[in-house]
Amino acid sequence: MKIKKKSNSVRVPPLKKAIKVKRKSSDIEEESTVSKAIENVKKVLEKKNVKATNIPKIVSSPKPEKSHKVIKVRKRKIRPQMRYQRGIVYLGHIPHGFYEEQMTEYFTQFGKVTRVRVVRSRNTGRSRGYGYVEFMYPEVAKVAAETMNNYLMYGRLLKATYIPPEKQHNGFFAGKTWTTKIYPKVINRNKVTKIRNGGVQNQRHVSFEQSTRHKLSALEKKLKEKGFDMNFVPIDSSK
């Protein structure tokens, strides 16, 4: 038999290669930071829960609604008008010569007359043909209006109508009682005459003289163009 020679070589069992995955240092650092962040968040949440359990609940009182500023408007004190129960009669187609004096004398036969007015022109002061008569009592005014309506007076039919208290106002008797001697046109005329006859200032007088000289010189030029040689010389020329 053939005998196999033993070899001095010893068989080594196959070594298991440990596969090790080398990790980069950056990946390890990222994992550590993420884990630390998670742990910190957990700690913060636990602290909040502990504080919430310890703090007593405060009942929030309802907020008061904003009160808008109320602007107080001052009410004007209206003085009560003294309304007298008096009767007013409207008169139309009043003839010439039948004025305030004649009307008061004529209508006193019906009762007591308190006020009389003939509506007059602002410029001339003459009667405009209508007016108003006020009596003390409205019953008397009604009787006067009924009797004097369509009454023939100096060739005219007088128109008289009773004005009820609902339609009465103070405008019927507003203004001054004008006459043929005293009326607005005469008053304004007297004011103007006083201003003209009064003292004139030196500046206004000088400006007036200059304007008149300019006008006269312009007139001289126009006359020369048409063949007329004329020189206007002022009588009292201030040197």
Q: Tell me: the pLDDT tens digits for 110-147?
A: 999 999 999 888 777 788 999 999 999 999 999 999 99
* Cβ(173)–Cβ(117) below 8 Å: yes
- pTM strictly above 0.75: no
Alpha helices in 55-131 (DSSP H): 100-107
User: CA-CA distance, 129 to 92, in Å (whole number)?
Assistant: 6
* Cβ(98)–Cβ(154) below 8 Å: yes
The identity of residue 92, as a single letter, is G
Report CA torsion sign: 158, 159, 165, 169: negative
> Which tens digit of pLDDT belongs to each residue from 32-80?
677 777 887 788 777 766 555 554 554 555 555 555 566 666 666 554 4
Task: Walk me through the domains of the chain, giving residue ranges and CATH numbers.
Answer: 87-178 (3.30.70.330)
User: CA-CA distance, 88 to 169, in Å (whole number)?
Assistant: 10
Look at residue 139 in the predicted model and tell me its pLDDT.
93
Report the half-sphere exposure of 233 (CA within 13 A, side-chain side): 2
